[in-house]
Structure 1
Amino acid sequence: MPETPYPNPGQEGWQVPPSQGPSASQPYGNGTSSPQPGASPAWGAPPSPQWQTEQPSAGTNGSPYGAPSPQSPLWTPAAQPGIIPLRPLTLGDLFEGSFRAIRANPAVMFVFAVGVFAIIAAIQALLAWGTASFMPGFLTDPEYLVDDQATAAASMFSGQLVSSLFGVVALSFGTTIVMGILALTVSDAVIGRVTDLGTAWRRVTPHLLRLIGASILLGLLNLGITLLFITIGVLIIAVLIAAEAPTAISVIIGILLFFSGIAALYYVTIRFLFVTTVVVLEESGIMTAFSRSLTLTRGSFWRTTGRYILINLLTFTFSIIVGGVVGAISSITVFFFSEAISLSITTFLIVRAMNFLSTY
């Protein structure tokens, strides 16, 4: 194979070949530009590098390390001028807000509510004491229902009935007034304002008739639903008995009607849960308040139902505890007082405790 001739140094046209790598004096990576075809490479100082400002990496937006980006929004906690944050509330916020409301304004949230229910409980206790004076003889003497004693027993049961009816009516009115006062006080506490009892009473007084009317209408609505399901159940069972249907079918239908009635009552209660609150806070009429409550619970029925049931379960648990304590106290009072006085004390404590728990 013929060898390629190389020119000898000194011959014409001989040039030093360009360096294939950086020299000792040349910085690494700063290579010279490629020579143009047909042109000799220019020897000399390498061209000065053209430095450019480093572009910020993605996600930094040119801000120093650790500093928040000026374009990205900063996280800030929800404003809380009062007892709860001004954002969609969790279940924990509701419970915490209840205790904060009591601490923020105990004179209205605690003293006023306890005072109203204490008056109702005291009147019921007096009625119970008046009718319980016949109880010992009725329970211990077999001849107690003979002649004049039968009249006394009838008077006793009549007194118990009057006491119960008074308790229902007084409790309804008392709860309505207390709920109106508490709704106004809590709404002020949400924005950090403390309302004294006199101011709250003056602001609620113009709405008392509407509050009572709304309470009566709600009671009649619940009563109507209850009577409707009872009537349907009685008619169905009467038809089944007339047709000599198996007893098991009547029992199953009765159970289904019972739970259907409970569900209907809960539905009405949840949908009109905010009627009294709307009457006070928005100064609305009765029918407007009912319509407004339907609007407020639309789309959040199941969430409101879950919270309502949970609160009722907690109230029921506390009522069992309080009932046990009251029962122990009443057992002790029997040793020191008569049965009538013991029953009066027990009635007073139970009514006062149950009403207070049901309010909160």
Structure 2
Amino acid sequence: MNDSPGWATPGSPSDGQGSDDGRPPAPPAGDDKWSASQPPPGQWSSPSPGQSPPPSRQTPGWGSYERQPGQRPTAPYAGPYGHPGGWGGPPPAAKPGVIPLRPLGLGEILDGAVSTLRGHWRSVLSITLVVAVLFQLAILLVQRLTLDTVVLDPQTATPSQALDLMGDTLALYGFQYYAEFTALALVTALLAPVVSNAVLGRASTPAATLRTVRPLAPRMLGLTGLLLVGALAAGFLPALPGILSGNVLLTALSLPIGLVLLAWFYVTFSLAPPALMLERGSAIGAMKRSARLVKGSWWRVCGITVLTWLIRSITAAIIAMPFAAVAALATPGGLGALLDGSAARNWTFLIITAIGGIIGTTITLPMQTGVTTLLYVDQRIRREALDLELARAAGLDGPGGTITGG
């Protein structure tokens, strides 16, 4: 046996000195606390060198669960009929809401995000719809302004005209990306309380969600602004020397560097919105918190985020396709206007496609925000044993509560 606290070597309650023939020491004379009959010789002796210990009579499959090196300790579990362990391994984790309370896999994160949307659709869709309408209107106006360029004939277009059209196109796509980035950060923060309730198996209403968010609105807007400024700096600072010098080649070579910095910035601080809303700290503190949680798991967070973005983009494109077809048919010139680019300057085409974009964004954006919040929960479970706190908050281990900071 070991000498760890709480353990003692088995044997007779004596001073540990036995007789030469292997018998236990005789009880002291006149001591009536000891029985006169003692075990026969050898029953209390330790096994001789090389002798195997007696076989265990424990039934296979009923052994207690032993914690492996580096594994976080868990609460004791009583298996069937009160025996510890269970049928060949640790018990399944408790699942009061959309995820089990343990470190999550990719499928469980995606399923939890979809289950949140399905089970709390009133709160999720009402909040996302408002944000989607605002940002789609902004994109619509910028699209109408930037593409108000004369349709170019590739055979007669001058280099300056082609350069202007290229600049307008890059400006439009850049604005769309950063508008989506801002909307994603904002919706993630707004829906973090909804996902928190879904994890605990609690209901959410739009009114209750707004009451939760309202005190944190200034900090939420401040964090959104900081993330936007940081993303702009990461994307454009590498290209700034080429832009200021008018060197097109230098600008083009700096674009990959900007994309790498932008990806690093986005993944590193992607968990800041849920950290702000669920831990109720400052905007700067939420960004630092996100960087600490992502550290060491950057590629995992990046892979799950990119995969979710691909799924969301494909789903949104499928939703928007019927609206694009209707818009092409309703636009003067039909498919010909769509092919030569003139449809992009027609209000009918722009409005119908914007409606499709609003519907697609409203349905698919909550999936991305749900995955981000569940990644935050998963990282805290892996690093800080948040699952034990969540179990208590869900009423599985002590009085209920809320998700709080670590």
| TM-score normalised by the chain length of structure 1 | 0.62
Tell whether the 8 Å contact from 2:324 to 2:352 is kept in structure 1 after alignment. Answer: no
Name the structure 2 match of 1:203.
212
- Aligned-pair CA distance for 1:323: 4.1
- Aligned-pair CA distance for 1:347: 2.4
- Aligned-pair CA distance for 1:264: 1.1
Q: State the AA in 2 paired with 1:212.
A: L
Name the structure 1 match of 2:317.
320
Name the structure 2 match of 1:73.
85
Distance in 1 (alpha carbons) for counterparts of 2:144 and 2:314: 32
- Aligned-pair CA distance for 1:309: 1.5
Name the structure 2 match of 1:118.
133
Q: Which has the larger radius of gyration?
A: 1
C-alpha distance after superposition, 1:240-290 (max 9, x if no partner): x9xxxxxxxx68x944x3322211111111111111111111111111111
**SS at 2:91's partner residue?**
coil
Matched, 1:179 2:211: no
Matches within 5 A, 1:1-360: 58-61=55-58, 63=59, 73-74=85-86, 75-118=90-133, 120-121=135-136, 127=141, 175-233=184-242, 254-255=252-253, 257-334=254-331, 339-354=346-361, 356-360=363-367
Unaligned runs of 5+ in 1: 1-55, 140-159, 242-249
C-alpha distance after superposition, 1:141-181 (max 9, x if no partner): xxxxxxxxxxxxxxxxxxx9x99999889767655543222
Q: State the AA in 2 paired with 1:193.
A: R
Name the structure 1 match of 2:394.
none
Summarize the Cα distance change of 1:310–1:291 in structure 2 as closer, same or farther, 3 Å threshold.
Answer: same
Distance in 2 (alpha carbons) for counterparts of 1:235 and 1:135: 25
**SS at 2:329's partner residue?**
helix
Tell whether the 8 Å contact from 1:180 to 1:280 is kept in structure 2 after alignment. Answer: yes
Tell whether the 8 Å contact from 1:184 to 1:200 is kept in structure 2 after alignment. Answer: yes
Q: State the AA in 1 paired with 2:132.
A: F
- Aligned-pair CA distance for 1:348: 2.9
- Aligned-pair CA distance for 1:88: 0.5
Bigger shift: residues 214-223 or 226-235: 226-235
Tell whether the 8 Å contact from 2:98 to 2:199 is kept in structure 1 after alignment. Answer: yes
Distance in 2 (alpha carbons) for counterparts of 1:347 and 1:304: 31
Tell whether the 8 Å contact from 1:213 to 1:286 is kept in structure 2 after alignment. Answer: yes
Name the structure 2 match of 1:24.
none
C-alpha distance after superposition, 1:1-59 (max 9, x if no partner): xxxxxxxxxxxxxxxxxxxxxxxxxxxxxxxxxxxxxxxxxxxxxxxxxxxxxxx9735
Q: How many residues align?
A: 269
Q: State the AA in 1 paired with 2:217.
A: L
Distance in 2 (alpha carbons) for counterparts of 1:359 and 1:302: 22
Tell whether the 8 Å contact from 2:139 to 2:175 is kept in structure 1 after alignment. Answer: yes
Distance in 1 (alpha carbons) for counterparts of 2:229 and 2:221: 12
**SS at 2:203's partner residue?**
coil
Tell whether the 8 Å contact from 1:118 to 1:352 is kept in structure 2 after alignment. Answer: no
Tell whether the 8 Å contact from 2:125 to 2:362 is kept in structure 1 after alignment. Answer: no
Bigger shift: residues 98-107 or 335-344: 335-344
**SS at 1:320's partner residue?**
helix
- Aligned-pair CA distance for 1:99: 1.3
Summarize the Cα distance change of 1:328–1:281 in structure 2 as closer, same or farther, 3 Å threshold.
Answer: same
Distance in 1 (alpha carbons) for counterparts of 2:113 and 2:143: 36
Q: State the AA in 1 paired with 2:123.
A: V
Distance in 2 (alpha carbons) for counterparts of 1:169 and 1:263: 16
C-alpha distance after superposition, 1:92-125 (max 9, x if no partner): 0011101110122110122331244235545766
Tell whether the 8 Å contact from 1:172 to 1:215 is kept in structure 2 after alignment. Answer: no
Tell whether the 8 Å contact from 1:207 to 1:283 is kept in structure 2 after alignment. Answer: yes
